[in-house]
A and B are shown apart, each in its own frame.
Chain A
Amino acid sequence: MKTVRVGAGLGFYGDSWRPVRASIERGGVQYIASDHLSELTLAILQKDRQKDPSAGYARDAVPMLTELWPLAAKHGVKFVLNAGGLNPQGAREAIARAFRDKGWKATIATVSGDSVLERIDELRAAGEPLAHMDTGADIASVRERMLFANAYLGAQPIADALSRGADIVLTGRVADAALTLGPLAHEFGWRWDDWDRMAAGLTLGHLLECSGQGSGGNFGSAGEWAKVPDYAHLGYPIAEVSDDGSALFTKAPGTGGLISFDTIRQQLLYEVHNPHAYVSPDVVLDMGTIRFNDEGNDRVRISGASGAARPANLKIVAGYQDGWMGTGMIGFAWPEAYAKCEKSAQIIQTLVEERGWAVEDTNIEYIGYNSLLGENADPTYRDRLNECFLRMTIRARDRRIADGFGRLFPWLGLSGPPYVGSMKGIQPAKELLGIWPTLVQRELVEENTKIEIESI
């Protein structure tokens, strides 16, 4: 019986590809599905492209593929990556250049047409309001400040590119799980309205799209996390898939990490809203019927995903400029570490008020006490801390205020409370981005989807 093995690539822009080597060498994978784009990575890529029109893609794909390609070619492994970002053709050119320098051959496809930034007015004219999905707000309020706007494409163009002989498929924005569903639909010839198989493929893609989180990384727990073996050599997950969509979830032999009922169900629900209607461009998945059978030794059988018809709309996520963040930090040792941080916060607030700075929001956190646990920090620790850091952040429309805020802090070293920690420099203003999720009739985007193939 035919099976197809898909291995996880990266889980974010900047993730490590070292574990991918083990999946290729010892994991028997045929495809690597690599996710380089979080919700707002496109904002970083947009800034790259503003500086250099040939940029705008996830640059890590070039060294990743250059390092892995000789091994991958030997094992017949193909790559599907959304590393194209805002410029899949630019990514292809960079990779082609690197491959030509080495004298390597490969067929590289790009999938584009997801960017709608230049089409906002056209889509509005076509009757799409592009109002905020959650608040219903009018897009006109952020239109001028928009940095990127991309629709999430589905798995069909990926499967098409593979059927046309691509070894490497570079996409712009696609649903993360489409990076896996595409190869599966291509290999098995699944019908695009076979909703349960689509749902099965989507489930596996979702489990693979966060690299090490699918194999024991970030296992959120008290104590249990310490039982995950050999984090340093954690293997990324691999799905061995059958034609009916059921799969064995595992990882390469000899790698660290843990694949079990506990670790895999954490990833299943990760960043999911309604688990009975997980909407993707290709299918609406109900997770309520999925079955996991933990066989031990990092082997979990997955089956039972059910799907409903794909939505009439695609999701667009746009990002827009939304002010500047100023940051200041200062730390103190015992005695009264927390009290000295609190006093410093009051001093800084006085300085800000006296300058009459227009500050929209102020955020005060105490690192070592409540910067991660917020209101759920245990207050009995507060006055017993060995040391504590004050972190203050502000939101301002004016970049100069955000820049000036950080410069208020060093003065405290000689003129504030005692036993101060090292400052480690002043943090410059950071640009803040608002996020604009909205919907668009799928045909209006899909008619522009473009697949280009180049053999080098």
Chain B
Amino acid sequence: MRVPLWKISHARSGDKADRADIGLFAFDAETYAVLKREVTKARLAKHFAGMGAGPVELWPLDNILALKIVLNAALQGGAARSLRMDNLGKNVAAQLLRMEIEAPADLPRLLLK
């Protein structure tokens, strides 16, 4: 079924020069395996196309059940040059949590009341 990331994971984003970076974290190992499979560079590039971003980089970290995502050239040249309200890219993580992926209905977080 289609599941938005906010139901099964959490995320924080920040900035370094013209890069926005995001940490995406699964609440459990089962969900982490799904994130690793579904949250691909191609899906991310499409999801953030509106930011005019350059290449996406992605690293899985099995030890902390996380994906490290970097969106290059995503901040209009950097926080102090950006015209955006969110010049620091703090809400890029919130944008990511709106992404929907294909996931099994019985993931632990989805069974929580």
Q: Which residues of A contact B (CB under 8 A)?
A: 39-40, 43, 134, 213, 218-222, 224, 262, 265-276, 287-292, 304, 317, 319, 322-323, 325, 361-363, 365, 367, 371-376, 378, 391, 393-395, 432-435, 437
Contact = CB atoms under 8 A, between A and B. Distances in A.
Interface string B59-87: 10111111010101000111111011110
A380 to B, nearest CB: 13
B14 to A, nearest CB: 4
B80 A265 contact: no
Contacts of B93: 220
Given A43-B80, A220-B13, A373-B91, A274 B64 contact: no
B17 interface: yes
Given A40-B79, A275-B59, A289-B63, A375 B17 contact: no
A273 B85 contact: no
Interface residues of B, number: 49
A329 to B, nearest CB: 10
A394 B83 contact: yes
A322 B81 contact: yes
A114 to B, nearest CB: 18
Interface string B74-113: 0011111101111000110111011000000000000000
The main secondary structure of chain B at its interface with chain A is mixed
Given A220-B12, A220-B94, A222-B97, A376 B50 contact: yes
A266 B10 contact: yes
Contact of A435 (B6, B23, B77, B90): B77
Contact of B59 (A213, A276, A322, A437): A276
Interface in B35-75: 47-51, 57, 59, 61-66, 68, 70, 72
A434 B51 contact: no
A134 B55 CA distance: 12
A134 B77 CA distance: 11
B64 A376 contact: no
Contacts of B85: 365, 367, 371-372, 391
22 contacts: A39-B15, A40-B78, A220-B11, A220-B13, A220-B97, A269-B66, A270-B12, A272-B21, A274-B68, A288-B63, A290-B64, A317-B17, A361-B83, A363-B84, A371-B86, A372-B85, A372-B94, A374-B86, A375-B48, A375-B95, A395-B83, A437-B17
Contacts of B10: 219-222, 224, 262, 266
Contact of B25 (A218, A262, A289, A395): A262
Contacts of A289: 63
B29 to A, nearest CB: 12
B51 A372 contact: no
Contacts of A287: 61, 63-64
B84 A273 contact: no
Contacts of B7: 222
Given A275-B68, A372-B91, A39 B79 contact: yes
A322 B47 CA distance: 29
